Amino acid sequence: MPPKTRKKAPTHDSTREWGAVERADARTRLAVLQAEIADRGDKKQLQKLRAERDKLKKKLGAYKYPVLTLPPEIVSEIFVHFVPPYPDRPPLLGDFSPFALTQICAKWRAIALSTTALWSVISVTLHRNDLLPAKLEHTKLCLERSKSHPLSIYLWSERDIPILDDFVSLFAAHSGRWEHVAFCMPFKYLDRVRNPLPLLKSVTILSMAFIHNHFDFGPTLIDINIPPVSNLHFRDDAPKLREMHLRFFAAGFVELFSFSQLTILTLTCVDLDQFAVVLRQSTSLVHCSAKLRLVDGQDARPDPNSLPPITLPHLETLMLRNYIGKVPAIQSSLGVLTLPALLRLRIGESNLMPAAAGSRVPTPLNAALFEDPIPTLRALLERSKCKLQSLCINDPADDAGHLASPPQVDVGGDGCAIQSGVPGHWRGRGGW
């Protein structure tokens, strides 16, 4: 048997591709050479060391890292996956911001700057600190670099931030590119939006009054100065708008928006009369969630049969909860609803319960409040002929805890039912 021969250790003169270990060794040797050159006084020895150093530098500089050989379009796609999936937005500043991708190398910076999708998702939060001017400049850069790409914007501001007007005006100048927007700021700033919104698909508006717990449920409004309807274009000039989430109290808000084309709607702090108006307009709804507020005198409901019927042929999810206090008499509205596509229903217990017998006396106007709500629920399901998959009539926020001993209500058409005395959720096939 021939003797084993040891493989010759690779030298720095080798022309084959270096491995990671060899490159690391070369960098270590280069550091040693630099130190020896700094200490040597012998001219001949210096010349030899410098020659070896220069050869190593040339070899290291000529090495092409595989990641740097990727085509620019592949690198651009990787960068797009660095940020959250559209329309979610990354932070404006910091390690997870698109700006971090411009600080790696010149080649990647150029690719990042040319990837408009990176700069079309903008999230701005405004606090009283020294970062406000920098955030405004970075926002301008994002809008410039996004070019004509549709925009997904989130703007949150503390109260009384002087620079807020600059941000709103800056975004409003690009409103023609808005696709998904969420504003958490005083309602009055929407007056800056004066142009059509041809690309807008979803909008979220949260009044600052709710953030800072300044609630006013009387005839006057706190922090919510509704601009003239003619200045808002959510009604007539947003043809693609399908999703809307509103959280504010304003008596005339139903006049500001068009609900007929919406498929997803969330309302917070809406009274029963407003909700009825919205539902009659929202014939395309698929998912609806509403937090209801009680208005004085709304326990005196008209006969449900005297109200115009409401049919929502596409509604699959309906969630009704209380915002503050307990809102009874939902059955007065449910009594006129027909929901043939309903799959998921969640309703607060107090919404189904009659008013407290000890605090009110039945009259011709409020007699419906003292009726058993279960027949109303059963009538809704029978009238709608829907294939309900999930039902929740339990609201932890309510003091009662659960509906006390409800009679059996068939909700599935296949033997599934709510059993008497069993509170909480019911789930059919499909779950919720």
> How do residues 222-231 score in pLDDT, each as one tens digit?
333 444 444 5
Q: What is the pLDDT of residues 164-222, one digit of tens each?
A: 999 999 999 999 999 999 998 877 787 788 888 999 999 998 875 544 443 333 333 33
Cβ atoms of residues 304 and 350 within 8 Å = no
Task: Give the Cα separation of 171 and 155 in Å (integer).
Answer: 9
* Residues sharing a CB contact under 8 Å with residue 122, sequence separation 6 or more, in sequence order: 89, 92, 139, 142, 143, 151, 152, 153, 154
Mean pLDDT value of segment 270-289:
88
Residue 391: its H or E element: strand 390-392
C-alpha distances in Å from residue 198, one per residue of 164, 180, 201: 25, 12, 9
Nearest Cα to Cα of residue 195 among 173, 179, 180: 173
- Return the beta strands (E) in 105-196 as ranges: 121-126, 151-157, 178-184
Taking all residues of the chain, what is their mean pLDDT, rounded to a whole number? 74
Please report the pLDDT score of residue 28 as a whole number: 87
Q: Could you tell me which residue, 242 or 407, shows the higher pLDDT?
A: 242
Please report the pLDDT score of residue 185 as a whole number: 83
Query: CA-based angle 202:205:210, to the nearest 5?
Result: 150
**Crossing angle for the helix pair 132-145 and 164-172, nearest 10 degrees?**
10
Averaging pLDDT over each range in 57-71, 118-132, 259-273, 298-312, which range is the top one? 118-132
Please report the pLDDT score of residue 61 as a whole number: 77
Residue 321: its H or E element: strand 317-324
Mean pLDDT value of segment 80-87:
95
Matching residue, tokens 């309602």: 187
Full strand arrangement of the beta sheet holding 121-126? 121-126, 151-157, 178-184, 202-206, 243-247, 264-270, 287-293, 317-324, 344-347, 390-392, 425-427
pLDDT for 314 beyond 90 = yes
Mean pLDDT value of segment 340-349:
85
DSSP bridge partners of 390: 344, 427
Task: Give the Cα separation of 56 and 29 in Å (integer).
Answer: 9
Task: List b or e across 319-332, with b for residues whose CB sees 16 or more CB atoms inside 10 angstroms.
Answer: bbbbbeebbbbbbb
Please report the pLDDT score of residue 14 as a whole number: 44
Please report the pLDDT score of residue 158 as a whole number: 86
Please report the pLDDT score of residue 227 as a whole number: 43
For residue 9, report the phi and psi dihedrals to the nearest 5 degrees: -65, 140
H-helix segments, 179-313: 208-211, 272-281
Q: What is the pLDDT of residues 1-36, one digit of tens each?
A: 555 554 444 444 443 456 778 878 888 888 888 888
For residue 248, report the phi and psi dihedrals to the nearest 5 degrees: -165, 165
By three-state DSSP, how is residue 8 classified?
coil
Task: Give the Cα separation of 97 and 139 in Å (integer).
Answer: 12
Cβ atoms of residues 288 and 318 within 8 Å = yes
Q: Could you tell me which residue, 128 or 236, shows the higher pLDDT?
A: 128
Task: Give the Cα separation of 336 and 305 in Å (integer).
Answer: 7
Mean pLDDT value of segment 44-61:
84
Task: Give the Cα separation of 41 and 176 in Å (integer).
Answer: 70
Mean pLDDT value of segment 37-49:
79
By three-state DSSP, how is residue 410 classified?
strand
Mean pLDDT value of segment 148-167:
92
Mean pLDDT value of segment 353-369:
41
Task: Give the Cα separation of 124 and 90 in Å (integer).
Answer: 10
Tokens for 297? 């005198």
Q: Could you tell me which residue, 116 or 184, shows the higher pLDDT?
A: 116
Domain boundaries along the sequence of the chain: 23-63, 292-432
Please report the pLDDT score of residue 154 as a whole number: 96
DSSP count for the chain of H helices, then E strands: 12, 15
Cβ atoms of residues 416 and 426 within 8 Å = yes
